Structure 1
Amino acid sequence: MAATAILNKSHRVFDAIDEDGNGVIAADDFERIAERLIRSFDETSPAAAKVRGTYTKCWQRLAELADSDGDGQVTRQEFETVFAGAQQNRFMQVIDEALDAEFDLADTDGDGGLDRDEVARMLTAYGVPQSELNQAIAGLDQDGDGRVSRAEYRTAMREYYLSDDPAAPSTPIFGRVRG
């Protein structure tokens, strides 16, 4: 069952990244999801450029780890393998950079924390359905104070990527995990 939780979360993330729905992930999928996130906030901020850069790094690292045939695309199966080994293959190092960039972009008032609106805008850009938004926000706001600190964001997201516990508080971050 533990392996199933990781597998199901990998499917949810794959579907969110596969922007064009063609069943594979490529560099342009990362570009489109970065632009969708950036459009939800300030497209001209330095944080927007940082998001673009870190998403490019994420794609490059993913391709390095998963694109076994060198065709410039990552299949669902290839992605599952990288997702399941994210800690061991150091994919999380690149993800951590992206998390910081996302946080900086979403922190529109620069107060060092994300309020409910900022979190909701970010999660909506990732395709979390409106009906699942409250649960997703709660997955990030793990202390329930109505704000998400940088440390809380990083901890919750790392738990999402690395935890094999299907009942972990972070599980609904990207919407309900089906499986």
Structure 2
Amino acid sequence: MAGQLETRYGKVFDAIDTDSNGTVEWADYQRLVERVTKAYSLEADNDKVTQLEQAYQGFWTQLQHHGGGGDRMTKEQFVKALGEAVGSPAFTDMAVSGIAGALFHIANTDGNDQLGEDELKRLVLAVTNRDSYTGSTTLGAALREGKGASGVVDSRAVAVSAGRFLKSQQVPEITVGGLILGVYK
């Protein structure tokens, strides 16, 4: 695996390791769901929350499969498992697209089936557990990168950007796909 992708996968690990204990386990994903739930004032039994939790469960299950099946992973194990998983259509088409779609549907608060800068900013703050975001030019660049064939950042464009972020070495440092996976810089 190329060094650039390993570095990117390490940043995904850092974003998911919500308790900063040096390992990722299911509880980290649950904390991600709780962050988003709280940021959007959603009830835990909301269908959108259930969809997000199921998407993270699919992502985690696939990583466990590629990483040997343990209940927790170190950064090195996570990076290796993610590197193997991205080659699997089941992982990118179902797990990554599932997270992208679930987060999109939560973030699309105005119901227009596309994300604007304010919606993306709110989502980034929720996923990264930040109180503020000062990178408006970064968001603008990410939004330009994230536009799909339709010219807007819709659900499909978010999923494509997330897949490209994980697979391709030829992507900008900040992408919509990276942002929804918690990679801020």
TM range (shorter): 0.7 to 0.9
Moved more, 152-161 or 15-24: 152-161
Instruction: Give distance in 2, aligned partners of 1:156 and 1:124.
Output: 19
Moved more, 97-106 or 21-30: 97-106
After TM superposition, where is structure 1 displaced by more than 3 Å over at least 4 residues in a row? 131-134, 143-147, 166-169
Match of 1:175 among 169, 172, 184: 184
Structure 2 counterpart of 1:38, one-letter code: T
Moved more, 124-133 or 152-161: 124-133
Corresponding residue pairs, total: 173
Query: Percent same amino acid among aligned pairs?
Result: 23
- Give 1:167 deviation, angstroms: 4.1
**Contact 1:47/1:104 (<8 A) preserved:** yes
69 and 146 in structure 1: CA distance in 2 versus 1, 3 angstrom threshold: closer
Which residue in 2 is equivalent to 1:33? 32
Which residue in 2 is equivalent to 1:138? 141
Show the 5 A alignment for 1:1-179.
3-44=2-43, 45-66=46-67, 68=68, 70=70, 72-89=71-88, 90-92=90-92, 93-127=94-128, 130-132=133-135, 134-142=137-145, 143=147, 148-165=153-170, 167=172, 170=175, 173=179, 174-176=183-185
Instruction: Give distance in 1, aligned partners of 2:75 and 2:174.
Output: 25
Q: Name the Cα RMSD after superposition.
A: 2.7
Moved more, 118-127 or 37-46: 37-46
Structure 2 counterpart of 1:130, one-letter code: Y
Unaligned residue ranges in structure 2 (runs of 5+)? none
**SS of equivalent to 2:184:** coil
**Contact 1:139/1:156 (<8 A) preserved:** no
**SS of equivalent to 1:37:** helix
Deviations 1:54-96 (A, max 9, x none): 1122222222221x373x1011111111222333234223111
Moved more, 81-90 or 101-110: 81-90
155 and 140 in structure 1: CA distance in 2 versus 1, 3 angstrom threshold: farther
Instruction: Give distance in 1, aligned partners of 2:136 and 2:75.
Output: 25
* TM-score normalised by L of structure 2: 0.80
Structure 1 counterpart of 2:65, one-letter code: E
**Contact 1:140/1:152 (<8 A) preserved:** no
- Give 1:50 deviation, angstroms: 0.9
* TM-score normalised by L of structure 1: 0.82
Between 1 and 2, higher relative CO (CA 8 Å, sep ≥ 6) is seen in 1
Unaligned residue ranges in structure 1 (runs of 5+)? none
Instruction: Give distance in 2, aligned partners of 1:62 and 1:133.
Output: 33
- Give 1:156 deviation, angstroms: 1.5
